[in-house]
């Protein structure tokens, strides 16, 4: 009799536990994110949008590490994520060569790895998310050609200010731009490749030197908006800014688009941050969904024709 009561009691307890278990209870996921640096406004927006998207999903525990512009530090951060057995790793690598081995190690350990913004030396990762930098370079080249007189007629002296020359975005922005302008015999490149490392102060220094060495500069193509702004400030300090067009890349409303609207920059080209999409894609995979190998984010030209509208839509200009 006691045995029967015990069996019935156990059955009731099991039934109670089954009924009282929260319906649709979700598994929690640990996601590690390694950011290349936080010294640039674009990177800060990147982090902000990534965190905002993660905050929408209480099942995510997000750990963020700042690589501090140091590939070795970033590799160590990814090693930490591997040791903690993160469910997924997101990384925006400073450079391809130095970060490819540790990403491959994480991938080989069975951890889904999402490479954001800058690609690696191979494709041993789960997914790449970012803009088409070669397309952006070509778009900037077409804009420059049209600004300088149009296809077959374009004439002018151009200064190019590179981002980090070892990074894939800088290489693609350079090659895409030159695919277009190198077909125009009237366009002359004034300076050899120079590395502004995405920094405004270095953009200023490179432009100041170019102004000292060249009496006539018609257009500056910088690989991001801060360097374009630095170049503008150098030209302004020498009283030559009104004779030069300044092209940048990023299109952050509070920065590049604002500078376009103020006629500081002539144009910028949208390079959307991939942080929010990275969280969405990782969560889709972790919950059993299917994802593509590559997700390419859209771009657009932003100049005097649409800058004010974009700022109004963003609530920055009323």
The CATH number of the domain holding residue 189 is 3.40.50.2300
Residue 104 lies in a domain: yes
Mark whether 261 and 151 lie in a shared domain: yes
CB 293 within 8 A of CB 123: yes
Rg (CA), the chain: 25
Mark whether 158 and 79 lie in a shared domain: no
CB 129 within 8 A of CB 291: no
Residue 166 lies in a domain: yes
Residue 219 lies in a domain: yes
Mark whether 175 and 264 lie in a shared domain: yes
- In degrees and rounded to multiples of 5, residue 317 shows phi and psi of -120, 135
Q: Specify the pLDDT at position 123.
A: 96
Residue 18 lies in a domain: no
CB 314 within 8 A of CB 251: no
Structural domain count, the chain: 2
Mark whether 211 and 115 lie in a shared domain: no
- Low-confidence stretches of the chain (pLDDT beneath 50): 1-24
Q: Specify the pLDDT at position 26.
A: 67
Residue 4 lies in a domain: no
Mark whether 258 and 177 lie in a shared domain: yes
Burial degree of 301 (CB within 10 A; 0-12, 13-18, 19+): middle
Q: Specify the pLDDT at position 229.
A: 98
CB 308 within 8 A of CB 146: no
pLDDT digits (tens, 9 = 90+) for 126-158: 999 999 999 999 999 999 999 999 999 999 999
Taking each helix axis as running N to C, give the angle between helix 200-213 and helix 225-237, from 0 to 180 degrees, rounded to the nearest 10: 40
Residue 19 lies in a domain: no
Q: Specify the pLDDT at position 14.
A: 43
Distance in angstroms (rounded) separating the CA atoms of residues 105 and 100 = 9
Nearest to 203 by CA among 250, 143, 245, 162: 162
Instruction: Identify the domain containing residue 218 by its residue range.
Output: 133-272+304-313
Q: Specify the pLDDT at position 9.
A: 42
Mark whether 163 and 308 lie in a shared domain: yes
Q: 7-19 burial, b if ≥16 CB within 10 A, otherwise e? A: eeeeeeeeeeeee
Distance in angstroms (rounded) separating the CA atoms of residues 198 and 178 = 19
Mark whether 149 and 102 lie in a shared domain: no
């Amino acid at each position: 009799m006691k045995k029967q009561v015990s069996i019935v009691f156990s059955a009731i307890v099991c039934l109670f536990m089954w009924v009282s278990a929260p319906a649709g209870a979700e598994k929690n996921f640990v996601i590690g994110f390694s950011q290349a640096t936080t010294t640039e406004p674009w990177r800060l927006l990147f982090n902000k949008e990534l965190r905002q998207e993660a905050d929408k999903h209480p099942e995510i525990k997000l750990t963020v590490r700042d690589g501090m512009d140091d590939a070795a530090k970033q590799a160590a951060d990814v090693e930490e994520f591997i040791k903690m057995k993160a469910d997924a790793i997101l990384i925006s690598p400073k450079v391809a060569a130095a970060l490819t081995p540790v990403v491959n190690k994480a991938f080989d350990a069975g951890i889904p790895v999402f490479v954001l913004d800058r690609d690696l030396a191979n494709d041993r990762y789960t997914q790449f998310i970012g803009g088409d930098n070669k397309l952006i370079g070509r778009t900037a080249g077409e804009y420059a050609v049209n600004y300088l007189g149009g296809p077959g007629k374009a004439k002018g002296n151009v200064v190019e200010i590179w981002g980090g020359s070892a990074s894939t975005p800088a290489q693609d922005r350079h090659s895409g731009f030159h695919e277009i302008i190198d077909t125009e015999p009237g366009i002359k490149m004034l300076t050899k490749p120079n590395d502004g490392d995405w920094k405004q102060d270095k953009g200023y220094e490179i432009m100041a030197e170019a102004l000292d060495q060249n009496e006539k500069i018609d257009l500056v193509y910088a690989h991001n908006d801060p360097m374009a702004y630095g170049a503008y400030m150098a030209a302004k300090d020498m009283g030559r800014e009104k004779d030069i067009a300044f092209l940048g890349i990023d299109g952050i409303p509070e920065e590049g688009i604002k500078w376009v609207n103020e006629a500081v920059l002539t144009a910028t080209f949208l390079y959307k941050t991939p942080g929010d999409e990275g969280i969405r894609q990782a969560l889709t995979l972790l919950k059993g969904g299917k994802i593509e190998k590559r997700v390419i984010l859209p771009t657009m030209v932003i100049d005097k024709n649409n800058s004010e509208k974009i700022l109004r839509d963003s609530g920055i200009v009323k």
